[in-house]
Amino acid sequence: MTVIQPYSGGRQTTPRTVGRNYQSVIVMLIVSLFLVGAMGSRLAYLQLVQGERNRQLAENNRIRLVPKQPVRGNIFDRKGKVLASSRLSHSVFLWPVALKKDEWPQTRQRLSQLLDLPEDEIQKRVERAGFDSPSLIRIERGLSPAQITALQEYSHQLDGIEVDIEAVRDYPNGDVGAHVLGYTGELNDQELGQRRAEGYRMGDVAGKMGVEEAFEPTLRGEWGGQQVEVDGAGRVLRILGEKEAKSGKDLQITLDLKTQKAAEAALGNQKGAIVALDPRNGAVLAMVSRPTFDPNIFSSRITPDMWKQLQGKGNPFVNRAMRGFPPASTFKVVTQTAGMESGKFGPGTVLPTFAALNVGGTSFGEWNRAGFGPLGYQQAMAWSSNTFHGQIGKGVGGPTLIKWARNYGFGQPTGIELSEEAAGLIADDTWKRERFNWEWTVGDTVNMSIGQGFTQATPLQVAVMFAVPANGGYRVKPHLHKDNEALSNWRVSMEMKPSTIETLRKGLRAVVDGGTGQVLNVPHLPPVAGKSGTAEAPPGKPHAWFGAFAPFDKPEIVVVAFAEHSGGGGGSVAAPMVKQVLEAYFDAKSPDEAKEK
């Protein structure tokens, strides 16, 4: 009997080979189970642990936040002429979540080349926003036509980069009123950190100086924007939500553009300042400082070379109208007030004058080196006698002179809205002991009486001082916000005797009528009153001052001109500047100008 064996494929089955045919199947099964388990664990991790994050990333790749910066409010002068507005400009924006990380270095390098912007600055901006940010972030403002064209040409290499139009600040008069208006600029990291609680965000532009800074809450407006769905190519599929940006409010200030331009022209390139204000309520009509700058440059990026060139002009961002300098003989208004109000030197006082006044071993010389003989208040003011006023200061004493200086507002901010204002300095015994460990002397008082020594006053403070005799004895608070508040809210009575005010006014008129300010005694201007000053300012040349008000009978404008280290006298250097401003204000033309017309 023949037994048929099962076919074994040519292999013999022995006790040693039983089950080996299933080993490979078992191994494959185990590996498959391991892989499926690993994949399942990974899926579970992605869905359960990181599910929310991954969904957010996917959503960010589909949803874009397009912020809309508000249009800043306009600034107008007192007659409605535009001082600051907005214009449209091209900016380049970057969408971080759309960036391909492996291509980012190439994109960053290309942007750097096209925009002439350092790569590290671009990198910092992206890192600040975060690579997964769905919001557009601004990389550069004020693109030139050449830059716009170049970005379009290389758009295929610039995923996540867009060029759009936005409103930027525009100052149609260039550098006119620059120190008053200030400028705007994008907040840096430190500023942004300090102002996040106020609702500021990355890329925000804010006022950095002057009116722009002082009235930031009024001018700023509120952000708006859109939430849009986009496809893989970045095309907008639909708008999911929208909030209209709210424009900032317009602001009218007290500056008079015509007077401001006249003051700018009068100062020219002379380092210094000119201030004009209404003595009745303190409204600032003009404020000029030199050197200056054009605030329009801040509507685009400032390169290091541009910044170096600006600083080379000599601190152009310092508003010299609100910085302290020795007021020289303009301060004699305070000295005469102290003399009469103290009761020690009445309005009828006559004092001898000398070539020099010797006090405590120090000689205080008369500017003409000879003296003027016996003088009363009016003649002493007209000829600016140092020895006359030195005797008044010595007679009333330091505390009384200091008291009246502070009553006039010296040594303290005037209260104008601008943050750049300095307080100036009215020193006293305590101040001197703290700094020099030495007591106040009679010589210090005499020095103060002629506006020298430690005394520092700003041109704005000097203008406030001249407003007192101009308006009949009130100290005004200079301001830039134009409104219709009552005069009582802008000024306070100095409680001076009528005879003191009358004597001061007559003396200031005598300065122009026959003293050191005769350049202003011209028929085409209404009667002017004023005072010159020439301040010693070692190691440089002397400073020149002149302050004036007009019309004498019913003053409506005070003008103070200050020429830093001009080297000339107040009557010869600063007074002609004041004259030029008054001619523009009163629309009065000199005979020579009339002939030219």
What CATH number does residue 143 fall under? 3.90.1310.10
For the cut 90, the answer to whether the pLDDT of residue 509 exceeds it is yes
Half-sphere exposure of 240 (CA within 13 A, CB side): 12
Residue 434 and residue 311: Cα distance in Å, rounded? Answer: 34
Residue 244's domain comprises: 63-252
Q: What would the mean pLDDT of 147-164 be, rounded to a whole number?
A: 85
pLDDT bin (cut points 50, 70, 90) of residue 26 is low
Q: Which residue has the tokens 């990181």?
A: 50
pLDDT in tens, 422-439: 999 999 999 999 999 999
For the cut 70, the answer to whether the pLDDT of residue 11 exceeds it is no
What amino acid occupies position 118? Answer: P
Domain CATH code at residue 572: 3.40.710.10
83 and 119 belong to one structural domain: yes
pLDDT of residue 5: 46
For the cut 50, the answer to whether the pLDDT of residue 1 exceeds it is no
Residue 507 and residue 499: Cα distance in Å, rounded? Answer: 12
Token duo for residue 57: 């990333």
Grouping H, G, I as helix, E, B as strand and the rest as coil, residue 587 is: coil
pLDDT bin (cut points 50, 70, 90) of residue 52 is low
186 and 72 belong to one structural domain: yes
Q: Is residue 20 part of a domain?
A: no
For the cut 90, the answer to whether the pLDDT of residue 76 exceeds it is yes
pLDDT bin (cut points 50, 70, 90) of residue 62 is low
For the cut 80, the answer to whether the pLDDT of residue 418 exceeds it is yes
pLDDT of residue 283: 96
589 and 456 belong to one structural domain: yes
Q: What would the mean pLDDT of 320-331 be, rounded to a whole number?
A: 97
Q: Is residue 302 part of a domain?
A: no
pLDDT bin (cut points 50, 70, 90) of residue 4 is very low
529 and 449 belong to one structural domain: yes
Q: Is residue 118 part of a domain?
A: yes
> Please, what is the average pLDDT of the chain?
87
Q: Is residue 26 part of a domain?
A: no
Q: Using alpha carbons, list the distances in angstroms from residue 93 to 58, 143, 204, 302, 421.
A: 21, 11, 13, 18, 37
Domain boundary among 227, 252, 277: 252
pLDDT in tens, 443-495: 999 999 999 999 999 999 999 999 999 999 999 999 999 986 667 679 999 99
Q: What would the mean pLDDT of 297-315 be, rounded to a whole number?
A: 81
Whether the CB-CB separation of 259 and 584 falls below 8 Å is answered with yes
Token duo for residue 120: 């590290």
Whether the CB-CB separation of 417 and 479 falls below 8 Å is answered with yes
Q: Is residue 310 part of a domain?
A: no
378 and 244 belong to one structural domain: no
pLDDT of residue 38: 53
243 and 266 belong to one structural domain: no
| Cis ω before 478 (30° cut-off from 0) | no
Q: Using alpha carbons, list the distances in angstroms from residue 237 to 84, 99, 158.
A: 38, 19, 21
269 and 146 belong to one structural domain: no
Token duo for residue 376: 């009363």
**Lowest-confidence segment of 153-162, 236-245, 426-435 by average pLDDT:** 236-245
- E strands, 361-444, are 362-365, 375-376
pLDDT of residue 230: 65
Domain boundary among 222, 252, 282: 252
Residue 161 and residue 147: Cα distance in Å, rounded? Answer: 13
Domain boundary among 252, 277, 310: 252
State which of 27-31, 49-53, 218-222, 385-389 shows the largest mean pLDDT.
385-389
Q: Looking at per-residue confidence, does 563 or 315 come out higher? A: 563
205 and 285 belong to one structural domain: no
285 and 429 belong to one structural domain: yes
For the cut 80, the answer to whether the pLDDT of residue 30 exceeds it is no
For the cut 70, the answer to whether the pLDDT of residue 397 exceeds it is yes
- Chain-centroid distance of CA 407 in Å reads 28
For the cut 50, the answer to whether the pLDDT of residue 9 exceeds it is no
Q: Is residue 407 part of a domain?
A: yes
**Residues in contact with 94: Cβ distance below 8 Å, sequence separation at least 6, in sequence order:** 122, 125, 126, 136, 137, 139, 160, 161, 162
pLDDT of residue 379: 97
**Residues in contact with 573: Cβ distance below 8 Å, sequence separation at least 6, in sequence order:** 544, 563, 566, 567
Q: What are phi and psi of 409, to 5 degrees?
A: 105, 5
286 and 176 belong to one structural domain: no
**pLDDT exceeding 70 applies to what percent of the chain?**
84
**Lowest-confidence segment of 37-51, 68-82, 108-122 by average pLDDT:** 37-51
237 and 324 belong to one structural domain: no
**Lowest-confidence segment of 201-210, 427-436, 561-570 by average pLDDT:** 201-210
Q: Is residue 264 part of a domain?
A: yes
What amino acid occupies position 432? Answer: K
Q: Looking at per-residue confidence, does 34 or 492 come out higher? A: 492
Residue 561 and residue 180: Cα distance in Å, rounded? Answer: 16
Report the number of distinct structural domains present in the chain. Answer: 2
pLDDT bin (cut points 50, 70, 90) of residue 235 is low
pLDDT of residue 7: 42
424 and 500 belong to one structural domain: yes
Q: What would the mean pLDDT of 142-148 be, rounded to a whole number?
A: 88
Q: Is residue 393 part of a domain?
A: yes
For the cut 60, the answer to whether the pLDDT of residue 51 exceeds it is no
pLDDT of residue 389: 98
pLDDT of residue 540: 87
pLDDT of residue 28: 62
